[in-house]
């Protein structure tokens, strides 16, 4: 007998058994298609063999969708808060609880007690469906944070109440602004460890000043105080703080205008090779739409893109009939090997986008107080350029009449990339060196 929970989990009518080798499979219908379901309920296959999927159920689009995430300094409680958000939503009957260990699931993350790679979970309020990315705070993994933040429509800045803003707090705010995250909500965590109310007021004031420094609305940004750990342990006041945070997200984080009518563009943040299935590229759809059967082009690394076909779509391990701008999806690509597509590439409408390796840009050099360099640099400076979800070595060439670029300077320069990347005029980027963000800029002209 199959329990009702399994039926709901798949959204399927399971009708009979099918014996394959020495294993018994279930046969049923999902979305009008007859499928074979493996005994462990992780692998599906259409009876015609056209598509394999590890999706569990079908994604139902019945609410406004928003991509948000947690950012902030290492060990301030981002992953604990993420787990608490899913638990409180689950208790309210919307979404499933994702425990801490399921978010920090890599062995190295558990061993070190920090998040290394950005991790995706989902939860819902009465108003919205949220796709949530838990970004790493450790300085060594900021490039993974950039990749995660590039997928966000808004973010939750987590700050430890007893510690206050720390180096990665400042850097994450800077990067969120540079990448284009329009609004932040603040969760002042570990409230149970603070006894001095005056200290709490000073920390809140410092946070608001920091937000204003990076052109966020420090005066009106909601700051919710609580303890994520105690919320996980069902402390009533802490649970209420999570509910208040969810309401602040619903009310303060605006849904951006989705560019669904433009040609498809999805920045790749990860690539998976699934046995018996093929290559899956994951990422947030910046603009346009995509559905199984659509022709696409993989653009990146070379001047000429690689043509492919989308043969399957998933979102949060659920089958998706169509992905639209704003969705964080996995795209199953036909005839593409894992070594032919990398983070930083884009999946796009055929013939609409191209790669370039040289551009002119308007660049601002961060001061030391902003987390940047102490000293000036000269022409042919070689930092790493962070563009969308990718990072690449580059060389920065100053104008002929400029001998050096000092911290605090704004200037127009030419940047050459080590290899071609999918870029266009108006695209924002960051320059990093030695674990620091040293400059931010916007592409003004494509050279080649």
Report the C-alpha gap between 115 and 443 in whole angstroms: 31
Task: Identify the pLDDT of residue 49.
Answer: 38
- CA angle, 146 then 157 then 183, to 5°: 80
Specify whether the CB–CB gap between 168 and 74 falls below 8 A.
yes
Strand 306-315 versus strand 295-299 pairing type: antiparallel
Q: In the structure encoding, which two tokens stand for residue 74, read together?
A: 């290492």
**79 catalytic per annotation:** yes
Determine which one of 78, 230, 289, 306 is catalytic: 78
Task: Identify the pLDDT of residue 63.
Answer: 80
Determine which one of 46, 127, 138, 318 is catalytic: 138
Q: What is the pLDDT along the chain (448 residues), one digit of tens a residue?
A: 333 333 333 333 444 334 444 444 444 444 444 444 444 333 444 333 333 444 555 655 668 888 888 888 888 888 889 889 988 888 766 666 676 666 654 433 334 343 334 467 888 888 888 888 876 543 433 445 454 445 678 999 999 999 999 888 888 898 788 777 899 999 999 999 988 888 999 999 999 999 999 889 999 999 999 999 999 999 999 999 999 999 999 999 998 888 888 999 999 988 888 777 788 998 889 899 999 999 999 999 887 889 999 998 988 777 888 888 888 888 999 989 888 999 899 999 999 999 999 999 999 998 888 778 899 999 999 999 988 888 899 999 999 999 999 999 999 999 999 999 999 998 888 898 987 889 988 999 999 9
**78 catalytic per annotation:** yes
**Dihedral angle, C-alpha 392, 436, 134, 158, nearest 10 °:** -160
Task: Identify the pLDDT of residue 192.
Answer: 92
Report the C-alpha gap between 361 and 354 in whole angstroms: 18
Report the C-alpha gap between 68 and 181 in whole angstroms: 9
Q: In the structure encoding, which two tokens stand for residue 126, read together?
A: 């009465």
Sign of the C-alpha dihedral computed for residues 94, 96, 99 and 104 taken in this order: negative
Task: Identify the pLDDT of residue 29.
Answer: 43
The model's pTM is 0.66
Burial degree of 293 (CB within 10 A; 0-12, 13-18, 19+): exposed
Q: In the structure encoding, which two tokens stand for residue 235, read together?
A: 């402390």
Report the C-alpha gap between 268 and 16 in whole angstroms: 39
Determine which one of 46, 63, 75, 270 is catalytic: 75
Task: Identify the pLDDT of residue 5.
Answer: 32
Other Cβ atoms less than 10 A from the Cβ of 257: the count is 8
Strand segments (E) across 50-135: 52-53, 64-71, 119-124, 128-134
Specify whether the CB–CB gap between 68 and 127 falls below 8 A.
no
Determine which one of 79, 82, 169, 282 is catalytic: 79
**Among the listed residues 136, 196, 186, the one whose alpha carbon sits nearest the alpha carbon of residue 157:** 186
Task: Identify the pLDDT of residue 235.
Answer: 94
Which domains does the chain carry? 4-50 (no CATH), 64-252 (3.40.50.300), 265-348 (2.40.30.10), 356-446 (2.40.30.10)
**424 catalytic per annotation:** no
Report the C-alpha gap between 181 and 186 in whole angstroms: 14
User: 424-431 long-range CB contacts below 8 Å, 24 or more apart?
Assistant: 424/353, 427/387, 427/388, 428/178, 428/179, 428/180, 429/361, 429/385, 429/386, 429/387, 430/146, 430/175, 430/178, 430/179, 430/385, 430/386, 431/363, 431/383, 431/384, 431/385, 431/386, 431/394, 431/396
Beta partners for residue 313, in sequence order: 331
**138 catalytic per annotation:** yes
């Amino acid at each position: 007998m199959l329990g009702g929970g399994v039926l709901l989990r798949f959204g399927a009518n399971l009708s009979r058994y099918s014996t394959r080798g020495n294993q018994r499979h279930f046969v049923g219908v999902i979305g009008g298609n007859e499928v074979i379901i493996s005994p462990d309920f992780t692998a599906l296959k259409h009876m015609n063999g056209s598509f394999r999927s590890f999706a569990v159920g079908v994604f139902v689009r019945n609410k406004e969708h928003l991509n948000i995430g947690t950012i902030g300094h290492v060990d301030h409680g981002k992953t604990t808060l993420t787990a608490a958000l899913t638990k409180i939503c689950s208790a309210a009957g919307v979404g499933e609880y994702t425990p801490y260990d399921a978010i920090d699931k890599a062995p190295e993350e558990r061993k070190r007690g920090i998040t290394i790679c950005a991790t995706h979970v989902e939860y819902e309020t009465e108003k919205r469906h949220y796709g949530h990315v838990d970004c790493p705070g450790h300085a060594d993994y900021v490039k993974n944070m950039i990749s995660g933040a590039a997928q966000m429509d808004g973010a939750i800045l987590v700050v430890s109440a007893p510690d206050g803003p720390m180096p990665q707090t400042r850097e994450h705010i800077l990067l969120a602004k540079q990448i284009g995250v329009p609004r932040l909500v603040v969760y002042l965590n570990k409230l149970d460890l603070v006894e001095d109310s005056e200290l709490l007021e000073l920390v809140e004031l410092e946070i608001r000043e920091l937000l204003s420094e990076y052109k966020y609305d420090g005066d009106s940004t909601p700051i919710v105080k609580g303890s994520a750990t105690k919320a996980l342990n069902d402390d009533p006041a802490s649970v209420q703080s999570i509910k208040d945070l969810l309401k602040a997200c619903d009310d303060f984080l605006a849904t951006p205008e989705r560019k669904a009518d433009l040609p498809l563009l999805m920045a790749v943040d990860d690539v998976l090779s699934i046995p018996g299935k093929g290559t899956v590229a994951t990422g947030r759809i910046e603009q346009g739409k995509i559905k199984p059967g659509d022709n696409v082009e993989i653009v990146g690394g070379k001047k000429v893109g690689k043509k492919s076909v989308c043969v399957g779509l998933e979102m949060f391990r659920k089958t998706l009939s169509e992905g639209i701008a704003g969705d964080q999806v996995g795209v199953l690509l036909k005839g593409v090997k894992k070594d032919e597509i990398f983070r930083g590439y884009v999946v796009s409408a055929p013939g609409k986008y191209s790669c370039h390796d040289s551009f002119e840009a308007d660049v601002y050099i961060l001061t030391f107080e902003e987390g940047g360099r102490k000293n000036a640099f000269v022409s042919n400076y070689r930092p790493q350029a962070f563009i969308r979800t990718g990072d690449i070595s580059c060389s920065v060439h100053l104008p002929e009449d400029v001998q050096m670029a000092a911290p605090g300077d704004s200037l127009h320069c030419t940047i050459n990339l080590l290899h071609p990347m999918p870029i266009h005029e108006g695209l924002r980027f960051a320059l990093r060196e030695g674990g620091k963000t040293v400059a931010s800029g916007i592409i003004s002209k494509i050279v080649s």
